[in-house]
Copies of this chain bind each other. A is one copy, B any other.
Amino acid sequence: MDNKAIDTDILLEESLDKILEFLEEKRYFQARDELLKYNAVDIAELLEEVTEKLEIEMTIILFRLLPKDISVEVFSELPSDDQVEIVNGITDKEINFIVQEMDFDDKIDILEELPANVVDKILEKTPKNERRLINTFLNYPDTCAGSLMTPDYISLQKDWTVGRALEYIKEVGMDAETVYTCYVKDSGRKLIGIVSLSTLVITDDETRIKDIMRTDYVWENVYEDQEEVSEDFKKYGFLALPVVDNEHRLVGIITVDDILDVMEEEATEDIERMNGVIDFENSDKGYLDKSVWQHALNRLPWLLILMVAYIFTGMIVSSFEGRLSEIICLVSYMPMLMGTGGNTGSQAATLIIRGLATDEVDTSDVLKILWKEIRIGILIGIILSTFNFARVCLLDGQEPIIALTVCAAMLLIVIIGKVLGSMVPLMVKKLNLDPALIANPAISSVSDMVALSIYFAMAMVFLGL
Residues of A within 8 A of B (CB): 1, 3-5, 7-8, 37-39, 41, 144, 166, 169-170, 173-174, 179-180, 197-198, 201-202, 216-218, 221-225, 228, 230, 233-239, 246, 248, 256-257, 259-261, 263-264, 267-268, 270-272, 274-277, 286-288, 292-293, 295-296, 299-300, 302-304, 306-307, 310-311, 313-315, 317-318, 321-322, 324-325, 328-329, 331-336, 338-340, 342-344, 346-347, 349-352, 354-355, 358, 360-361, 365, 368-369, 372, 375-376, 379-380, 383-384, 387-388, 391, 395-396, 440-441, 444-445, 448, 452
Q: Can you give 11 A-B contacts (C-beta < 8 A)?
A: A5-B246, A41-B235, A173-B202, A272-B350, A287-B361, A299-B376, A307-B388, A311-B391, A311-B395, A313-B336, A339-B444
At the interface, is chain A mostly helix, strand, loop or mixed?
Answer: helix
Partner of A271, one of B3, B197, B354, B452: B354
Contacts of A5 in B (CB 8 A): 221, 246, 248
Partner of A303, one of B169, B197, B236, B340: B340
Contacts of A224 in B (CB 8 A): 1, 3-4
Partner of A216, one of B37, B169, B310: B37
A388 to chain B, nearest CB (A): 7
Contact call B268/A354, Cβ cutoff below 8 A: yes
Contact call A286/B361, Cβ cutoff below 8 A: yes
Contacts of A218 in B (CB 8 A): 8, 39
Residue in chain B with minimal CB distance to A238: B257
Also in contact, A303 and B343, with CB within 8 A (given A314-B396, A318-B332): yes
Contact call A372/B302, Cβ cutoff below 8 A: no
